[in-house]
Amino acid sequence: MRGVALGGLGLAATQILAACGASTAGTTSAAGGSGALPAHPKWRFVFVNHVTTNPFFVPTQYGIEDACNLLGLSYEWTGSANSQVTDMVNAIETAVAGKADGIATTIIDPVAFNKPIADALAAGIPVVAYNADAPASSHNKRMAYIGQDLFTSGQMMGQRILQLVPKGSHVGLFIATPGTLNIQPRIDGAVAAIKAAGNPITYDVVATGALVEQELSRIDSYYLGHKDVKGLFAVDAGSTQGVAQVMQKYNLPSQGVHGGGFDLLPVTLQMIQQ
C-alpha cells in the first residue's frame, strides 16, 4: 500500500517540481535527495486534504514523506478533518500567504476552489489536484489532476451490481458526504448505469457522514430497517469498511446479500480475508 501511495503522490510531487522549473534529468539535488535531479532549493509543498485524519489517507502521507525524502523536499499536511470547504480554502490561502513552493489539493467543490487556486497561480505557485477534480465546466485553472475518472468508475460499479443481484432487487448505496466531488461522481455513475439498463433494480442513496465510526452506525441502522435488501454498496473508504463489517456481523453472504465498494482500509482488508 505504501508503494502505491508513493507512485501517485510521487507523481504529484513531480508535477509540481516540473512547474517549479526542475526537470527529471540532471545531477543529484543539492537539497540532499537522491536521484537524477538538478540542484534545487528544499522546496516546501502544501497538501490540502478534505479529511486530514481519515485512515484512508495514511498511505498518502507515507507516499508524500517518501517522495520528499527521495527528492529533497519538505511538506505540510493540512485542510479539513470533515470535508469543510471553508477550512480547505483557508488552508490554500494560508499556503499562498506563506509563500509555499507548490500546492496539491482535493477539489471537492465545483466552484469554491477557483479563486484561491487562481490566486496561487498568480503568485507563481503551481497547483495540482489529486483524488478529486473540478468539472471542466467550472473553468478551474489547476495545472493537472492525479486520480481516477470517478464517474466512469461509478458506472462500472453500477454495471457490476446489476450482474450480482437479481432483477427486481432493492439495494443500498452509501456515500459519506453527498455533493463532494471526491465521491459524488461515483454515486452518479452507479445510478446512471442502473437507469441505462432500464431500472431493473431499486435503490436508496444513504449519507453516512465523514467519520468512520459514524458510517458504520448508519449502515447498520439502514440494514436493520431494510432487511429485504439484496446488496449493500459504498463509494468511499469508510462506508466500504462499514459495509464489510455489517456483512460479517449479520452473516449476510450466507443469505444471498452482496456487498462491495471502493478504497481500502486495514479493516476492510481483514474482512475480505475472513
Dig out the grid coordinates for 257 from the structure.
446479500
CA distance 9 to 3: 10
Quote the pLDDT of residue 274: 83
Dig out the grid coordinates for 26 from the structure.
540532471
The structural domains of the chain, ordered by start, are 2-146 (3.40.50.2300), 150-273 (3.40.50.2300)
CA distance 212 to 238: 5
CA distance 273 to 110: 38
Beta strands in the chain (DSSP E): 44-49, 74-79, 102-105, 127-130, 145-146, 170-175, 202-207, 231-234, 258-260
Dig out the grid coordinates for 126 from the structure.
503551481
What 223-226 contacts at long range (C-beta under 8 Å, 24+ apart), as own/partner pairs, is 223/172, 223/250, 223/252, 226/170, 226/172
- Whether the pLDDT of residue 9 is over 70: the answer is no
- Is-contact 37 22, C-beta < 8 A? yes
CA distance 29 to 126: 20
Quote the pLDDT of residue 15: 60
Q: What is the pLDDT of residues 61-116, one digit of tens each?
A: 999 999 999 999 999 999 999 999 999 999 999 999 999 999 999 999 999 999 99
| pLDDT range class, residue 206, cuts 50, 70, 90 | very high
- Mean pLDDT computed over every residue of the chain: 90
φ, ψ dihedrals at 26, nearest 5°: 145, -155
Q: What percent of the chain has pLDDT over 90?
A: 82
- Whether the pLDDT of residue 154 is over 90: the answer is yes
Which residue from 240, 242, 174 is spatially nearest to 213, judged by alpha carbons? Answer: 242
Give 44's strand partners: 74
Burial zone of 168 (CB within 10 Å; 0-12 exposed, 13-18 middle, 19+ buried) = exposed
Q: What is the pLDDT of residues 159-203, one digit of tens each?
A: 999 999 999 999 999 999 999 999 999 999 999 999 999 999 999
Which has more confidence, 121 or 8? 121
What is the pTM for the complete model shown?
0.84
| pLDDT range class, residue 6, cuts 50, 70, 90 | very low
| pLDDT range class, residue 122, cuts 50, 70, 90 | very high
Quote the pLDDT of residue 152: 98
CA distance 122 to 124: 5
Quote the pLDDT of residue 92: 98
φ, ψ dihedrals at 223, nearest 5°: -60, -45
| pLDDT range class, residue 38, cuts 50, 70, 90 | confident
Quote the pLDDT of residue 35: 56
